Each structure stands twice: as C-alpha cells, then as structure tokens.
C-alpha cells in the first residue's frame, strides 16, 4: 500500500482527494496538513469522512510528509513551491494542484500570480499533468503540475483539431462557465448565496490567470502561434464546468464534413477512458459528469459556417482537479490509471 500525504486538506480539492482515495485500494492517506486546523480530526471538519478517516490535521512543518511515497499539494498558489525541494530531495513525488509549476516561463508566472518563484530550477523538471497528452512523461516525473479546471476542458476540446491542423489558430474562442466551488472554500462576498443565486456573470474578461496556461498547452498542440479569446463566467451552481469552444476551419479544410471531424474525435479519444465523445449533435450537461472523472465532448457546425463548435463538460473538482490528480498519481506509481476513479456521475 502506497503512503500518500496531502498538503492543505481543508479546501474543496483536499476534501475531494480524501473522498476519492478513501476506497482506492492501492494508496492510503497517512498525512493531511493544515496550519489553521492543526490537531483537529479530519472528520470533525468533514463529517462525510467520519467512517473512512481517523486522521487529525498535522502542521505542515511538523508532520511526516517526507515519509510518504507521494504528496498532493492542494494548498493555494505559492505553498507547493515552498515544500517542493525538500520533498524531491527526500525522494517523495509531488502532484501539485495549484499553479506553482504549470507555466514554464517563470517571468510570465510571476506576472500573473504576483509572487516570486522560490524554486524556478524545478519548473523545468515538472511535467504538465494532462494524461491524454503527456502520459508517458507523467509516469517517470518527480513533480507533476496538475492542470487547472478551465484549461483541462479547453485543451481536451481543442486538441484533435489543433493536432491535425484543420483550424485557424489565430481566432480560437473559449466561452467557459464554472460552478462556484471553483472559487474555493473561503468566505467571499461575491460567492455568497444571496449574491450569486439567480444571477450570472462573466469575470476576469480582460485576462484570467488560466489564460497563459491554456495558451502554453494549445501552442504545443498546434506547433506554433495560437491566439485565444478566453472568457470565464460564474454560474449559480456548486460543481461543473461547461466550455463552448469555437474554431474556424482553414480554407483548405473548409469542405470537411462534420461527420469526418466527429470520426477524428472518436479515433483520437478511442482509448481514453476519461474522455467521452458523444454522438454528433449532442448537448452534454454538467449534471451528467458531477462527481465523476469524465470530460464529455460534443461537436456541432452551424449551417453554412466554417466554424466548428465543441461543447465540453466536466466536474471542476474531479477531472478539473482532484480526480485528475489521482489519475496522475496512478500513472506515477505504476498503478492502473483508473484506480479509484470508477465512480459514476451523481444524478440528479
């Protein structure tokens, strides 16, 4: 049984990691840290874990994270990089759910996150944790940068089109919506029930922190320059991401029928158990992925248009965070990639 630790276990992603790992079978959570809740029973903070966890939160500087085989960091940006060097030197592998190791350009990271990076030398070693693209590199990685929730949906949605060069890369659009759990567990006026309920709005329209991460991935997929308009929105619901993606076919590919593009997606994701390409013309909804590690895709093409519309849905806390982190852990530890992730969506 592999020993697993979690840095920052009091947030939604930390709790989701514990839920998914409770019946994993090959990995056991032996250490969960929290500065604010040090000494408290995990099950007192999260009663849903009463029958599966008897752990108490430990202080991150006093626990035994170095005795683990692998550690997840589910803490805010800037925390994982303060632990990374010590863990790596101790032979402990790290899956970071924050943004500390996602961007290869350190200057770009510091601009968007407003922090000085504490271990830039480790950024080059870190592998971006999108298994559908970097699976073989993830297997041998010491540090895996778990993707953000929006970047997961957007990249998986655009991937086959960019890999085949069928679309113009200078005019991509991602119109994405997220449930409020994506904003974290902290008390903020804008995410209070009376402020959020019965309302709908865009935010960070002039530039969201996930934009450089998405662009970095899309440029690797497309092999060159990519321009993307990315507008996130906040939905009055708890879980889920719905991304509507727009890509214009190149002049050379303009006569490509939709059923051919549908076949392209089905072939590309044929062996991916956590990406589900729905029949042409489908309209996936977020409730049918809630609690699961699946990203569902559907393709459309408006009549008389060269634009391909990709609809992508996922649970932002599972495939968009903790589930994908467990998927990466499984690869890193030589386990079956789907271990602990077979749960079906919670409907209704």
8 A C-beta contact, residue 2 and residue 331 = no
Based on the residue annotation, tell me whether 149 is a catalytic residue of this protein: yes
Both structure tokens of 47: 């009663």
Write 181-190 long-range contacts (CB < 8 A, 24+). 181/12, 181/238, 181/239, 181/316, 181/317, 182/149, 182/241, 182/316, 182/320, 183/234, 184/11, 184/12, 184/76, 185/10, 185/11, 185/12
Strand partners, 298: 311
Point out the catalytic residue in the list 38, 68, 119, 149: 149
Residue with tokens 């934009």: 211
d(CA 12, CA 233) in angstroms, rounded, equals 20
Report in angstroms the alpha-carbon separations of 227 from 19, 148, 247: 38, 19, 11
Catalytic residue numbers read: 149
């Amino acid at each position: 049984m592999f020993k697993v630790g979690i840095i920052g276990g009091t947030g939604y992603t930390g709790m989701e990691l514990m839920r998914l790992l409770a019946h994993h079978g090959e990995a056991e959570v032996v250490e969960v840290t929290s500065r604010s809740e040090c000494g408290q029973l995990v099950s007192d903070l999260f009663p849903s874990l009463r029958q599966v966890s008897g752990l108490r939160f430990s202080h991150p500087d006093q626990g035994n994270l170095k005795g683990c085989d692998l550690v997840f960091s589910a803490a805010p940006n800037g925390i994982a990089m303060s632990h990374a060097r010590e863990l790596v030197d101790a032979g402990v592998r790290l899956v970071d759910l924050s943004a500390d190791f996602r961007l290869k350009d350190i200057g770009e990271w510091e601009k968007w996150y407003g922090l000085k990076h504490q271990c830039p030398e480790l950024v080059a070693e870190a592998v971006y944790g999108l298994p559908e693209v970097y699976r073989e590199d993830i297997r041998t990685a010491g540090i895996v940068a778990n993707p953000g929730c929006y970047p997961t949906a957007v990249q998986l949605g655009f991937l086959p089109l960019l890999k085949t060069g069928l679309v113009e890369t200078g005019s991509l659009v991602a119109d994405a919506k997220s449930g409020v759990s994506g904003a974290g567990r902290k008390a903020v006026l804008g995410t209070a029930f009376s402020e959020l309920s019965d309302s709908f709005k865009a935010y960070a329209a002039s530039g969201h922190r996930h934009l450089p991460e998405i662009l970095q991935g899309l440029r690797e997929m497309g092999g060159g320059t990519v321009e993307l308009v990315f507008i996130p929105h906040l939905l009055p619901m708890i879980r889920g991401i719905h991304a509507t993606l727009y890509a214009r076919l190149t002049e050379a590919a303009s006569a490509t029928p939709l059923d051919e593009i549908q076949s392209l997606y089905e072939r590309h994701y044929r062996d991916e158990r956590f990406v589900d390409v729905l029949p042409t013309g489908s309209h996936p909804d977020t409730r049918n992925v809630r609690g699961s590690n699946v990203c569902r895709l559907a393709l459309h093409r408006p009549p008389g248009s060269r634009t391909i519309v990709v609809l992508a849905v996922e649970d932002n806390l599972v495939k968009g965070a903790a589930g994908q982190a467990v998927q990466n852990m499984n690869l890193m530890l030589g386990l079956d990639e789907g271990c602990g992730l077979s749960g079906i969506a919670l409907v209704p």
